[in-house]
Amino acid sequence: MQQEKKKKIRGDIPLAEVEAFYRIDRKSGKGASVKVTHKANDALKQIHSNLLGLFYHHGLHRRENYPFAFGWVSGTIDPIKQALLYHKREDNGLFPQYWFVTDIKDAYESVDIKQLAIILNINISYEYQGEEIYEVLHRFCEGRFGGLARGFSTSPLLFNVYASQTIDTSLFLTAKKYGIKFCRLGDDLIFSSKNPIGRRKRKELLSVVRNAGFTISVKKTRYINLKVQKTFKIFNVMVRNTILGPTILPSRTTERKMRGMLFVERSINMDLIDKNDLRNKIHGWNGFCKIPEGITRQRYKKILEGYAGLKEKIKKEKDGFKQGQW
């Protein structure tokens, strides 16, 4: 029985073939953080695929399991836009005046693997016992220096499972008693209210996060009064209220990035691998460039036209390949 369980996850892959590489990136400056990125070899990727299949079989990916989360949730289209529009006021449909935004520092690395095993045991206990779950997580999902491994395909789902049980509900209930809305976008925590979110309230919200064993990124913690600032930047987009209603626009950084990548793709000859990598980046950044109807600024139009041209170009290439013209 024990061997059958292991075979579901590992298949016929010998443990000796399972390997993960990691890269350490150190940011410059005093007190700079260190980021460790992992890369699984083909054998470990297959095991991760088997694990995700097991988690999906038990419904751990379902949207309803994460009512306050928008990032890293299966089936969520345009999570940034959804997370921000979730904060619209019900009375007037506009963005609220006061926002409190923070970030969990080293979120993956802060996950307690033993506690995660206990949480997972509740969901798949009839098939795997707690010690077996911990062994699997420790062997195949844990990072080089503890916690979940940044870069593994299993980490986003496992982090959502962990956060949903350790902070999401507590933050929602704490925020609700003050009339504050809360949602989580990956490792970012977003609070908003039509009334000021005072220091005491902010401290209480952050204490929920710290009590769960997480560390707050002070650099990424902000309190915004939208009436004073008019616009604030978050996740490479600009948030503001306009005559069109709650409006989300690409930031200047996003505009420059998109224009540059579209120019390079259009003007410079590259091999197929580099071209596909660049196009994938363009598709990803385009998520920050969805312009609401009624916005007519010329610089936005150029980005939209450039991206539309790229999509048409890719379509023609695919049609040509199907007709044997390549």
128-165 pLDDT tens trace: 555 688 999 999 999 999 999 999 999 999 999 999 99
Q: Are residues 211 and 317 in the same domain?
A: no
- What's the residue count for the chain? 326
Q: Would the pLDDT of 2 be above 90?
A: no
* 105 strand-pairing partners: 215
Q: Would the pLDDT of 7 be above 60?
A: no
Amino acid in the structure at residue 68: F
Q: Please list, in sequence order, all residues whose beta carbon lies within 8 angstroms of the beta carbon of residue 316, skipping any fewer than 6 positions away.
A: none
- Give residue 260's domain range: 251-322
Q: Are residues 79 and 199 in the same domain?
A: yes
119 vs 259: CA distance, rounded Å: 45
Give the tens place of pLDDT for each residue, 53-82.
989 988 999 999 999 999 889 878 889 989
pLDDT at 171: 98
Task: Report the share of the chain in percent with pLDDT over 90.
Answer: 60
Q: Are residues 191 and 259 in the same domain?
A: no
Amino acid in the structure at residue 223: Y
19 band by pLDDT with thresholds 50, 70 and 90: confident
- Greater model confidence, 247 or 324: 247
Q: Would the pLDDT of 325 be above 60?
A: no
Task: Report the share of the chain in percent with pLDDT over 70.
Answer: 88
Q: Are residues 279 and 131 in the same domain?
A: no
Q: Are residues 230 and 286 in the same domain?
A: no
Q: Would the pLDDT of 34 be above 60?
A: yes
**Stated pTM of the model:** 0.86
pLDDT at 218: 94
- Closest by CA to 105, choosing from 219, 28, 181, 205, is 219
Q: Are residues 222 and 192 in the same domain?
A: yes
pLDDT at 30: 55
The average confidence (pLDDT) of the chain is 88
pLDDT at 260: 94
User: What's the total number of domains in the chain?
Assistant: 2
306 vs 291: CA distance, rounded Å: 14
CA distance to 151, 177, 228, 268, 310, per residue, from 90 (Å):
38, 17, 22, 49, 38
Alpha-carbon 172 to chain mean position? 19
Provide the H-helix boundaries in the chain. Answer: 2-10, 42-57, 79-85, 113-124, 130-140, 155-163, 169-176, 199-211, 226-229, 252-267, 272-286, 298-322
235-254 b/e (C-beta count within 10 Å ≥ 16 → b): bbbbbebeeeebbbbbbeeb
Q: Are residues 90 and 233 in the same domain?
A: yes
